[in-house]
Amino acid sequence: MKLLRTIALDPSDTFVFDVPAEPGEWAVPGAFRFLNHDLARLEGKDRSAFRGGLLGVQSWGWSTLAQIVPATADDRRALVELLAKRLVERFGAPDLVTARAAAEEEVAFAQSLCSHPVSTLIAVHRSVRDGEVRESFRSLRLREGQGHGKAFSFMEMEDDAGSDGDLNPDLNLADMSKEPGR
The reported pLDDT for the residue numbered 22 is: 96
The reported pLDDT for the residue numbered 130 is: 86
On whether the pTM is more than 0.75, the answer is yes
Domains of the chain by residue range: 2-170
Give every CB contact of residue 149 below 8 A, 6+ residues apart in sequence: none
Give every CB contact of residue 111 below 8 A, 6+ residues apart in sequence: 1, 2, 3, 76
Q: What is the mean pLDDT for each group of 10 consecutive residues in the chain (182 residues)?
A: 96 94 97 88 93 96 97 98 96 94 97 96 94 91 61 47 43 45 46
Residue type (1 letter), 78: A
DSSP state of 71: -
User: What is d(CA 123, CA 63) in angstroms, rounded to the nearest whole number?
Assistant: 9
